[in-house]
Amino acid sequence: MATRWFGAPVQRSEDPRLLRGKGNFVDDIDLPGTLHAAVLRSPHARARIVNIDPGPARGLPGVHLVITATDLGGVLEPSPLLIPHPALTEPRTQLPLALNEVHYVGEAVAFVVADDRYIAEDALELIDVEYEPLPVIHNLEIASANNAPLVHADVPGNIAAHFVQTVGDPDTVFANAPHIIHETMSIERGAAMPMECRGILARWEAHEGMLTCWISTQGPIPIRNGLAAIFHLPEHKVRVVAPDVGGGFGTKIMMFYPEEILTPFAAIHLGKPVKWIEDRRENFISSNQERGQLHEVEYAFDDQGVLVAVRDKFLHDTGAYTPYGIIVPIITACTLPGPYRLKHYYSEFTVLYTNKVPVSPYRGAGRPHAVFIMERIMDRIAKELKIDRCEVRSRNFIQPDEFPWDVGLVYQDGGPTKYDSGNYQAGLDKLKAMLDYDNFPKLQGEARQHGRSLGIGIGCYVEGTSIGPYEGANVRVESDGRVFAATGVTSQGQSHATTFAQIVADQLGLSPGDVLLTEGDSQAFNWGVGSFASRAATVAGSALHLAAVKVRAKAKQVAADLFEAAPEDIELAGGRVFVKDAPHRFLTLGQLAISANPLRYAYGENARQLMSMKLAGPRPGPALPPGRGAPGLEATEFYSPSHASFASGVHGAIIEVDPKTGMVSFVKYAAVHDCGRVINPMVVEGQVHGGVAQGIGGAFFERLVYNEDGQIVNASFMDYLLPTSAEIPSITVDHVETPSPLSPLGMKGAGEAGVIPVPALFASAIDDALSPYGLRVLEMPLYPCRVYELLKEIQSSS
Amino acid sequence: MKPPRFRYCAPDMLDEALSLLDKYGEDAKVLAGGQSLIPLLNMRLAGPAYLLDINHISELNYIETEDGYLAVGATVRQRQVERSPLVKEQHPLLVEVVQHIGHMQIRNRGTIAGSIAHADPAAELPALLTCLNGEVVAQSVHGERIIKADEFFTGYLSTALNPGEILTEVRFPWITPQSGWAFAEFARRSGDYALVGAAAVVTSSLDDHCISAHIAYLGIAGLPLRVREIENMLIETTFDEKVLDEASELARTFVSEDMEDVHATVDYRRALTAEITRRVLRMAWARREH
Amino acid sequence: MQEQEDTSMFSEENLISVTVNGHLYEQHVPVRILLSDFLRHELHLTGTHVGCEHGVCGCCTVLLNGEAVRSCLMLAVQADGMVLTTIEGMAGTNSELHPIQQAFQEKHGLQCGFCTPGIIMSVHAMLHENASPSEEEIRHELSGNLCRCTGYQNIVEAVKLAAERLRESHTEVK
C-alpha cells in the first residue's frame, strides 16, 4: 500500500497550542485547594542523621504537614529496583526519606506541605537536623581503593556489580598481534538539564478511592503500577498522566524518585491535592546524572590497520544508589564494537558506589563513552600506521552484505546485540563529501601558515534502539469520523502526536489532522513501558500501525458487506470508503463506524444519511457475526520486537583552536544519520540537531564538578554551562536509510543519535588541530583551561 | 527558589529613601535593577529584612554631560546607555563595555550604578570605571561623598559604601578624541561573566610615542585592578610587538593567587591575562586618531 | 511616633495595578512574590514558564513596557503601573498566530515547547529593534534564551522567516 504521510515532513499538530502558551505542563495544572510541597535535602554527601526536629517548622502558619522517614509507616521501603541483573549482586535503592544516614548531597530528608511554595521553603529553614558527617567517597579512585571507606556499610569494596563478557578468543589474538597499545580514558559527569524541572501533582479522592497523579515523567504507566503496589490500591484506582513534559532526556524515567512517593502520600494523608515542583537548584542535586566512567583499554591491530582485539576494563560510577540497575555500563560494553568487525573482545566492568547523585540514563546512556573509546582507537591506529583516519575505518567496517551481524554480546534488553541492517561506508562517504574532507589538509596547511589551528574530526557509531519488551496501541473511529488513537508511551518534545497520527492516517485514508492521539495517560491506555532508549517511535509506532491495519481490515470487511463487494475491492481515501472504480457511491468513515455498531438506535446526521442510502440490509443470524469481533471500528494491538534494531551514523566537524587560550569554535558541523525508515524527516532532523547540541555541551561546556566533600561546586546555570545559540554551530544533516527487517515499518530509533558521537569527534578534531604539538585527548569533557593544561604538559615534557 | 520574607518600600523621593536607609541601613538592601540582588534572594543567599526599591525616584534617572565626565544617575538602565545617541557619540567606550554585559534582557533592567555598587570582580563596569579613574557619588542623610574608583572597590563584592548610603551617581571621565581605547574579555559563552577582561585607554604624541596609558582588569583579583606598572612601562614606547610582549608578561604577575575556580586555574588565568593585555593594547593603539 | 510612621512605609503586602495583554488587573500581592509566579499563579497566565529562577535560561521572558525582561528577576510589586505582554498576548484578537509564531510552526522551531514562549517574546523584542538581523546577530541576541531540545538550528531559521515576513507586511502597510 502506498503511503502518503509516512515519510512526509508534516507540520506538528502540537505547535499551535504550545506557541500560544497554552501548554499543559504539570505546574500549569491548577486544582482548587492545592497545597505546595518542598523537600529538605541533605547538605552532606555522607553523614549519620543524629536527630531531626520538625517542631518549629510544624508551628509556622500556613504549614500543613512536615514528615520525616518515621512518619511514612509502611511506605518507608526502598524504592523498586527497576532492572535486576545477575551481575548486580549488591543493588541499593533509596528510601523515600533518609532514615539513619544520608548518602549524597541532595538526598531527601524531610517533606513539607504548605499553602504555597514560599511558605514551604520558609518551613524548611526551621527544620533542625543534626548530622554527624562521615568520610566522603567522591570519585572512582577513592571508591575503588583498598580499604576505602564505604558508601553503604554492607557493600564491601563499594562494588555494586561486576560483569564480564567475552567474544571470541582475545587472549590468543593479543598474544600474536603485531601492534598493541594500552591507554587510560575517562569520561566525567554531566546532566540532562531539561528546561522544565521535575514535578508532580497528586490528588486523592477518598469517596472514590482514586489516586490521580500528573507527573513530568517519561514512564507514566510503570509509575502507575508502582504506586498501586506501594499504596495497596488496585491499578484501575490509580491514574498517572504525563501531561506536556518540557524535555526528559532520560532524567525523567528514574522511577521512583522520592517525591513521586511522598507527594501522593501527602495528598492521601491531607485529603487535598499536593503539588511539588522541583526548582533548578534541586535539579542539580537530586535529578539523576550520568557519564562517569574510567576505562583501561588495550587494543591490538595488524599492519593494515585492522583492529583484531580489544580488552576494555572499566569502572562505572553509579552514585549513591542503583535505581536503574546496571543498564548504562551494559550499553557501554555492547556499544563499543561499533560499526567494526571486532571478533575478539573482552569487556569487564565494575560498578562502584560513590557519595554522589545517583546515576541513570541520560541521552546516549553509556553509548557516548563507548564511541569515544572506539573512535579514539581508530584515530590512534591511523596515526601509528600513518594511514588516513577514514581509510582505517573503511578497512574495519562491517559491509552491507554481512548483515545480520552478531556482535556476540547480550544487549540491555536481554536479547542479542545483533545488527539488523546498515551501510556504514555509505554514511562515511556522504560525510566526507559534506565536509570536503579530502581537501581539508590543504585548507589546514594554509591556515597554519597564517597562525591558525584548524582541525577536522569524525565519529562513527552504531546505536542499539527500539528495544522491547513491548508497546501497545488502541485505534478507534468514532461516529463523527474522527479517529482516536492511544498508546502508553509519552512525548517530551518528540512530536508523537504528529508522527503517530501520520502512521494511522496512512492506513485509514485520512490526513494526520483527523487523528487525535492520547498518550501518557494510564486511563486512556492501560499498558506501556515508556519513552527512552530511542524506542518509542519504533515500538509504539509499530503497535499503532498494527492496530490501524486491523481497523482498516475491519472497515473493509464491514464496507464489503454493505456494498456487496469483496473486501479487497474496498478503498479508503480522503475520509471516505467506497468500492474502487465507484467513488461516487461512498460512505464516510464515521458512517461506516456507525454501521459497524449494530445498535437498534443510531444518532446524528451520519445516521440519517445512512438510512437514505440503499445499502445491503443486515444478514440473518447474529448482528455481530462470528469473526467480526467487537462492534465498531476499533482495534488494540501490541508490538514486541524480537530484539533491538541498530541505527547508525557518522558526524564530523571542522573546528578552530587557539592554542594560547584553549578556546575552540566550530567552523562546520555535519551529521549523517541512518534510522531506517523515517516517519517525519523534519522531526528526525530536529532530534539530531538537539542531540548534537547536548553532545557539544557535554564535550566542551558542561561538566559537573564535585569537590572532596561531595558538593557540586557549580550547581547553577551560571557555572554549569549549557551552550547557547551563539556556541552551537549550524548543523547540516543528511541521511542513509537501511530499513530494519525487524519491525513492520522498517523503523529504527532516532532520539539519542545526535549526542552519541560528539565527544569522540571533538577529541578527534582537537588532536588534528593541535597535531604539531602531538596532543592525544583521552578524556571528556574538555574545556579551554584543560586544553591549555594538556598542551603545557606536552610542552614541558618534550 | 523563592525569596525569604522581607518588608518592601518604594519611595519616589530621594530624601525619603535616604532617611529610611538611615534608620534601617544595617538590615536593608537597595533594589535597583535587581539582576544581581534577586538571584541572591531567590537562592536565599541574601536575607535583608527591608528592601528599598529606588526605581521610582525619577530624579535619579539622568544621563548628563558634565565638565570632565559623563554623569549617570542611579536608576539609569544599562540598555538606556547602550541606546543613547549622546553616549554613543561622546563616550563610545562606555557603550562598547555595556554591550558586553550579560544579555539584552538583563540590560533592560540592570542599572549602571547597580553593577558598580554590586562590585562583582568579573563585572565589566567596575573595571571600566577603574580604568578611567572615575568616581561615584554616595548620598546619605549626612550629605554627599565623592569616592574615587580606586578607593571605592575594596574587595570581593565589597565597596566603600556605608550602610545608610545610596550610590546616586556614577561619573565616567571623558576620553580625549585623539585617544585610542579598547575593551576585550574572555568568556566561555556569549553573555557570561568574563574569565578575564581589560579596558585600556592610550594617548600618544604627534610622533607616535605613548604619552599616557590606562589599563584596568576584571577577573584577575578580587576587585577591579588598575595596573600602573604596565601603564608606566608603556610610556615613551611605540607599542611594538616587543613592548606588547613585555606588557603581557608583566600582566601575568598581577593575577592573584586565590583566583582559582571551576573554569580556570591561576596559571590559566595568567595565560589569558597575558593574551588579553596584548589584544586590548593593540586594539587601543590602533584606534587612536590624530 | 516617627518610628511607627517609618515602619508603616515598609509593607509585606501591596495593592498593585498591572496591565497584561491589554487587560487591567488589580490585586493585593505579597511583596516577595516574583513576577513570574504572579503571572502564572495569580493571573493564571501559565504560558510564561519558569526554568531556573536565577536569570539565565530565559524561559520566563515577558515584555515590560515593550522591553524583554526576565520575570523571575522581578518582584510583582515592581510591575505596578506597568504594561506587560506575555505569550498569551501575541496571537491576534481573531486568534490568528502572530507571524513569529507562524514561522516557528513552519520551521519546526519548537519540540517540547517549554522554552518557546520566552524565546518568542525575546524574538519579538529583537525584531522590533532590528528588522533585518543576520544569522550571527540572531544567534547573539538569542543567547539569553536556552533551549535543550532543538539545538537552535530551526529557531534561527524561524527567526529569519519571521523577520522576512514582518518586513514584507510593513512595506505592504506603507
Residue B2 in any domain: the answer is: no
Segment A160-176 shows an average pLDDT of 97
Residues near B256 by Cβ (< 8 Å), separated by ≥ 6?
B220, B221, B222, B266
Q: Report pLDDT for C172.
A: 61
What's the total number of domains in chain B?
A: 3
Q: Domain check: are B32 and B79 in the same one?
A: no
d(CA C123, CA A184): 46
Q: Which of A142-146, A238-242, A362-366, C2-6 has the lowest mean pLDDT?
A: C2-6
Which distant-in-sequence residues (6+ apart) come within 8 Å of C9 by Cβ?
A: B9, B11, B16, B20
Question: Quick one: CA dihedral A490, A492, A497, A499, positive or negative?
Answer: negative
- Say how far apart CA A479 and CA B2 lie, in whole Å: 50
Residue B33: CATH number of its domain = 3.30.43.10
Predicted pLDDT of residue C87: 98
What is residue C1's predicted lDDT score, i.e. its pLDDT? Answer: 39
Q: Which A residues, 507 through 536, put their C-beta within 8 Å of a C-beta on chain B? A: none
For chain B, helix (H) and strand (E) counts, in that order, are: 12, 14
Return the residue matching grid coordinates 524527516: A681
Q: Do B135 and B216 belong to one domain?
A: no
Q: Is A785 touching B (CB cutoff 8 A)?
A: yes
CB A748 within 8 A of CB A550: no
- Confidence category of residue C174, pLDDT binned at 50, 70, 90: very low
From chain B, which residues contact A within 8 Å (Cβ)? 1-5, 43-44, 186, 188-193, 261-265, 267-268, 271-272, 275
Output the 3-class SS for C73-132: HCEHHHHCCCEEECHHHCCCCCCCCCHHHHHHHHCCCCCCCCCHHHHHHHHHHHHHHCCC
Contact check, Cβ <8 Å, A661/B5: no
Residue count of chain B: 290
Q: Which one of C15, C17, C70, C130 would you mutate to disrupt binding with B, by most B Cβ within 10 Å of its Cβ?
A: C70
CB-based contact B104 C144, cutoff 8 Å:
yes
pLDDT of C173 over the 50 cut = no
- Nearest chain B residue to C5, by CA: B20
Considering the domain architecture, whether residues B122 and B221 belong to the same structural domain is answered as: no
Task: Give C143→chain A minimum CA distance, Å.
Answer: 5
Q: Please, which pLDDT band fits residue C3 given cuts at 50, 70 and 90?
A: very low
Residue C7: predicted pLDDT: 53
C2-89 with C99-168: one CATH topology? no
Question: pLDDT at residue A614 above 80?
Answer: no
* Residue C134 distance to chain A (closest CA, Å): 13
Q: How far apart are CA A616 and CA A587, in angstroms?
A: 13
Span A41-46, mean pLDDT?
98
Is B45 in contact with B157 (CB distance < 8 Å)?
Answer: no
Quick one: pLDDT at residue A600? Answer: 60
pLDDT at A479: 85
Stretch C95-124: mean pLDDT:
97
CA distance A777 to A184: 11
Q: Do B89 and B125 sit in the same domain of this protein?
A: yes
Is the CATH code 3.10.20.30 the one for domain C2-89?
Answer: yes
Minimal Cβ distance to A725: which of C90, C112, C155: C155
Cβ pair A722:C146 closer than 8 A: yes
Q: Chain C closest CA to B160's CA: distance in Å?
A: 26
Strand order in the sheet with A515-519: A515-519, A483-487, A471-477, A633-639
- Which residues span the domain enclosing B30? 7-53
CB contact under 8 A, A663 and B264: no
| A506 pLDDT more than 60 | yes
Greater model confidence, B277 or A608 = B277
pLDDT bucket at A602, cuts 50 / 70 / 90: low
Q: Tell me the average pLDDT across B137-147.
A: 97
Q: Do B1 and C11 touch (CB under 8 A)?
A: no
Coil vs helix vs strand at A543: helix
pLDDT the model gives residue C8: 62
DSSP at A272: S
- What's the mean pLDDT in A708-727? 97
| Cβ contacts of A713 on chain B, cutoff 8 Å | 262
- Suggest the residue from B104, B120, B189 to mutate for an interface test with chain C (most C CBs closer than 10 A): B104
The predicted pLDDT at position C4 comes to 43
Q: Does residue B191 sit in the same domain as residue B238?
A: yes
Distance CA A408, CA A344 (A): 9
Residue-wise pLDDT tens digits, B96-117: 999 999 999 999 999 999 999 9
Does residue C2 surpass a pLDDT of 80? Answer: no
Question: Which CATH number is B229's domain given?
Answer: 3.30.390.50
CATH class, range C99-168: mainly alpha
pLDDT higher than 80, residue C94? no
| Same domain membership, residue B122 and residue B80 | yes
B157 and B185 belong to one structural domain = no
Beta carbons of A118 and C155 less than 8 Å apart:
no
Give which of A212, A177, A436 is closest to A311, Cα–Cα. A177
CATH for B62: 3.30.465.10
Task: Give the whole-number percent of chain B exceeding pLDDT 90.
Answer: 97
Same domain, B188 and B257: yes
Task: Tell me which chain B residues have a C-beta less than 8 angstroms from the C-beta of C53.
Answer: 1-2, 39, 42
The confidence score (pLDDT) of residue A621 equals 78
pLDDT, position B290: 58
* Residue percentage of chain A with pLDDT more than 70: 99
Residue-wise pLDDT tens digits, A729-757: 999 999 999 999 999 999 999 899 999 99
Mean predicted confidence (pLDDT) in A287-313? 97
**Other Cβ atoms within 10 Å of B229 Cβ, number:** 13
Q: How many CB pairs lie under 8 A apart between chains A and C? A: 181
What pLDDT score does A603 carry?
67
Nearest Cα neighbor of A784 from A729, A727, A713 is A727
From CA A573, how far away is CA A745, in angstroms rounded?
20
Residues of B with Cβ-Cβ distance to A662 under 8 angstroms:
268
Q: Does A729 touch chain B (CB under 8 A)?
A: no
B14, B46 Cβ separation under 8 angstroms: no
Confidence check: pLDDT of A222 > 80: yes
What are the residue ranges of helices labelled H in B178-240?
A: 228-234
| DSSP state, residue B210 | E
- Check residue A414 and give its pLDDT: 87
* Residue-level pLDDT at A1: 60
Alpha carbons A467 and A366: distance in angstroms, whole number: 16
CA dist., res. B177 & res. B91, Å (int) = 10
Nearest CA in chain C to A191: C148
Q: What is the mean pLDDT of residues A406-410?
A: 93
Residue ranges of alpha helices (H) inside A135-200 are 140-144, 170-175
Closest among C14, C68, C66, C75 to C39, alpha carbons compared: C75
Same domain, B185 and B267: yes
- The per-type count for chain C, helices as H runs and strands as E runs, is 6, 5
pLDDT tens, residue by residue, A779-794: 999 999 999 999 999 9
Residue type present at position A568: E
The pLDDT of A572-596, averaged and rounded, is 92
Task: Count CB pairs under 8 A between chains A and B.
Answer: 60
Residues of chain C above pLDDT 90, percent:
88
Indicate the average pLDDT of chain B.
Answer: 96
Mark yes or no for CB contact B23/C122 under 8 Å: no
Could you tell me if B15 and B62 lie in one domain? Answer: no
B230 within domain boundaries: yes
- Mean pLDDT, residues B133-148: 97
Q: Which of A121, A122, A721 minimises the CB distance to B188? A: A721
pLDDT digits (tens, 9 = 90+) for A50-88: 999 999 999 999 999 999 999 999 999 999 898 999 999
Write down the H helix ranges in B139-199. 149-152
pLDDT-derived band at A654 (thresholds 50, 70, 90) equals very high
Confidence of residue A2 (pLDDT cuts 50, 70, 90): low
Please, what is the average pLDDT of chain A?
Answer: 95
What does the DSSP assignment read for A319-367? TT--TTTTHHHHHHHHHTTTTB----EEEEEEEE--SS--B---TTTTH
pLDDT at residue B31 is higher than 50: yes
Contact A195 C101 (CB under 8 A): no
pLDDT of residue A149 exceeding 50: yes
Question: Residue ranges per domain, chain C?
Answer: 2-89, 99-168
Residue A613 confidence class, pLDDT cut points 50, 70, 90: confident
Asked whether B182 and B287 are in contact (CB, 8 A), the reply is yes
C19 vs C24: CA distance, rounded Å: 4
The arithmetic mean of pLDDT across residues A571-593, rounded, is 92
Residue A543: alpha-carbon gap to chain centroid: 19
